[in-house]
Structure 1
C-alpha cells in the first residue's frame, strides 16, 4: 500500500509541474485577474454553472476573466489544485482529506451534493455475490478517489484489506470499460459511468452503502481564500444559483448532464436520483462522514499513522464562507 501511494504521489507531483501555469492570485486585498473553476460530470451543478455563463456574467462586471477546466475525477481536481492550475476544484470529501494529509493547501468551503455516486460493481453472470468473494480478485479503482476509499471501507467491513485483492489503478471510465471487457472481476464505480454500466452493459451491484459515500466538496486553494474572500463568497453564491436551478428543473438538469457527459437521458436521470442537494453548508455531519473514512485510510496507511484525524478534518472543512452567503 505504501509503494503504490508513493508512486501515485510522484505522478501527481510530476503532473503538477507540467500543469502549473500563471497563478490567478493577486496580493491580499487585490482583485484577481482570473478565476479558474473546474467542472465535472460527477458534479451536476458545476455543469449548470458552466452552461449558463453565470460566472462569466458576474465577474465580467469586475474585469475578472473566468477559465474552466474539466476534472475527470477527484484525483485530477486535486492535481489541478496542487499545481495552481485551478482555484476551485470538485472532489469527494475523503479524497480532499488524503490530499490535505499530504500537505495540499486546500479548504473545503461548500457541499455541492450528498451523492450515492459509488458502489462495487461486477458484470452480470459473474459468480461474485458479496464483498468477501472479492478475495484474490482484480478490482478496478481510481487511487485517491471516493470509489477507491469506498472499496477500502467495504473490504474492511468484510474483514478483508487491500492486500487481499489486486487493485488495478484505472481512471473511472477506463475501469468501467475494463469491467465490461472482462479484464477485471469488479470495479469501484463512479457515476455517470456506473449508471450507464448498470442500465446498458449488465452491471450488477455487489455492495451498496450510501453512508460510505463521502460528500461532494468544492475546495479552494488556501492562498486564494486568504487573498480573495469576496470572490470565494461570489463563487459560492453562483453554486447556490446552480443548485437551486437543478432542484427546480430536474428534467432540464438531466438533459444537460446527458448532453455534456454524452450519456443517454435515462442514465443521467439515474445519476441525479442518487444525489441529495439539500445541505450545501459544510457542517458536523460532513466532518463525521469524512472522519470515518479517514480512520480506514489511516489503517491502510494512506493517511499517516500519526495524523490526528479530527484535527485534520477541522483544518480541511471551512464553513465560514458558505455560512455567510447562504445563511445571510
Structure 2
C-alpha cells in the first residue's frame, strides 16, 4: 500500500471512531491548544512541517503550540485547561488521573527508553544500593522520578533513604555535572547529552521501568470534540510514519529544536525510541498495572484510590479497536 494511501486510510479510520453516543458541540473550533516536547519527536515533526495547521485550516482553527519541559508541566497545563492535548509518560499520566486530573490517553507516541539513573564518570557509586544517604535529582510527577522510586524499591530502599532534590530535567543534568548532587534520574535528550558530552555514566537501566509516551486529551475536549481529536491523532500518525521512514531527518529536527548535537539526537531517536505500536491496548494497560503499586507504596495517591479503575479511565482503546476492526 502506498504511503499516501496509508495516511489517507489512517485519517479516515481515526475520524470514523467518533461514536454517535459521544456529545458534540456545535460550531467550529476556534483554537486548538497542544504541547510540543523534546521527549516527543512526533510533536516536533508536526510543528516543523505544519501538518496540523494544514489539517485545521479548512475549519479556520488556529493551532497554538506550548512547550512542555517535562511530563509534570504537560499534565499541569492539561489540569489547568491551558492546553487541550499534551504528551507525558504513561505512569505520570496515571498518577495525574488517579489524583483527579480528568484526562484520557487515546494514542501512544513512542515506546522509549528515555530515563535511567545517572552518575558522574568519576563517581564511586556502583549500584542503586549505594545511593543510600546520597543526593539524587529528579523531577517530581515524571517518569524519571517514578523510575527512581521503582529502582530504589527493587534495591530494597525507600524514598526516605535518599535525599531527593527536586529539579526540572535540564537543571538536574547541570547539578549532576557540577557535583551538587550525587545522582540524577535523567531524561533524554538531556541524559544522552550528559552521557556523550559530559562523560556521565548510566548507573541503572531498565527498559521495563520506562513507561510509554502517552498523548493525553482533556476528557471534556475528547467528549465534545471527537472529530477534532481524531484529526490530531491522524496527524500524529502521519508524523510517526515519517519518523520511521526518516529517522536521521527526525533526529536533525530534534537536534535543532532542543539545541543538542546530532549524535545526541540520533541516540534518542534511533537507539532509544520505538515508534512501532501507537494504539493503546492490553500491552499498555498491563504495563501500568505492573507499575501502579509504586504509587500506592509511596503514598503518591490518596488512601483508598482504586488505581485499576484509574487505569481503565485513562487508557482509551476505542481508536485502537476501530483501526483493528477496519
Query: Per the alignment, in what secondary structure is the counterpart of residue 123 of structure 2?
Result: coil
C-alpha distance after superposition, 1:160-214 (max 9, x if no partner): 0100000100000000000000000000000000000000001101100000000
Residue number among 83, 86, 106 corresponding to 1:86 in the alignment: 83
Moved over 4 A (4+): none
C-alpha distance after superposition, 1:265-284 (max 9, x if no partner): 00000011100000000011
Query: Per the alignment, in what secondary structure is the counterpart of residue 61 of structure 1?
Result: helix
CA distance in 1, matches of 2:320, 2:259: 32
Asked if 1:207 corresponds to 2:204, the answer is yes
Asked if 1:55 corresponds to 2:52, the answer is yes
Query: 1:10 maps to what in 2?
Result: none
C-alpha distance after superposition, 1:71-97 (max 9, x if no partner): 000000011101111100000011111
Task: Report the CA distance between 1:227 and its aligned residue.
Answer: 0.3
Query: Per the alignment, in what secondary structure is the counterpart of residue 278 of structure 1?
Result: coil
**Does the 8 A contact of 1:131 with 1:154 survive in 2?**
yes
Query: 1:139 maps to what in 2?
Result: 136
TM-score (norm 2): 0.91
C-alpha distance after superposition, 1:24-50 (max 9, x if no partner): xx9724432111111000000110011
Q: Report how many residues are paired.
A: 303
Query: 1:313 maps to what in 2?
Result: 311
**Does the 8 A contact of 1:233 with 1:325 survive in 2?**
no
Query: 1:9 maps to what in 2?
Result: none
Which stretches in structure 1 are left out of the alignment for 5+ residues? 1-25
C-alpha distance after superposition, 1:131-167 (max 9, x if no partner): 0000000000000100000000000000001000001
Query: 2:299 maps to what in 1?
Result: 301
Residue number among 99, 104, 123 corresponding to 1:102 in the alignment: 99
Query: Per the alignment, in what secondary structure is the counterpart of residue 232 of structure 1?
Result: helix
Task: Report the CA distance between 1:112 and its aligned residue.
Answer: 0.1
Query: 1:242 maps to what in 2?
Result: 239
Query: 2:116 maps to what in 1?
Result: 119
Asked if 1:67 corresponds to 2:61, the answer is no
The equivalences for 1:26-41 within 5 A come to 28-41=25-38
**Does the 8 A contact of 2:44 with 2:253 survive in 1?**
yes
**Does the 8 A contact of 2:46 with 2:236 survive in 1?**
yes
Query: 1:260 maps to what in 2?
Result: 257
Residue number among 159, 184, 189 corresponding to 1:187 in the alignment: 184
**Does the 8 A contact of 2:281 with 2:320 survive in 1?**
no
**Does the 8 A contact of 2:98 with 2:307 survive in 1?**
no
CA distance in 2, matches of 1:285, 1:325: 16
Asked if 1:278 corresponds to 2:265, the answer is no
TM-score (norm 1): 0.90
Query: 1:176 maps to what in 2?
Result: 173
Residue number among 274, 286, 289 corresponding to 1:291 in the alignment: 289
Asked if 1:163 corresponds to 2:160, the answer is yes
Task: Report the CA distance between 1:323 and its aligned residue.
Answer: 3.9
**Does the 8 A contact of 1:236 with 1:325 survive in 2?**
no
**Does the 8 A contact of 1:237 with 1:325 survive in 2?**
no
Task: Report the CA distance between 1:326 and its aligned residue.
Answer: 7.3
Task: Report the CA distance between 1:324 and its aligned residue.
Answer: 3.1
Aligned Cα RMSD in Å? 1.3
Q: 1:119 to 1:181 in 2, by over 3 A?
A: same
C-alpha distance after superposition, 1:109-138 (max 9, x if no partner): 100000000000000111000100000000
**Does the 8 A contact of 2:24 with 2:223 survive in 1?**
no
Query: Per the alignment, in what secondary structure is the counterpart of residue 59 of structure 2?
Result: coil
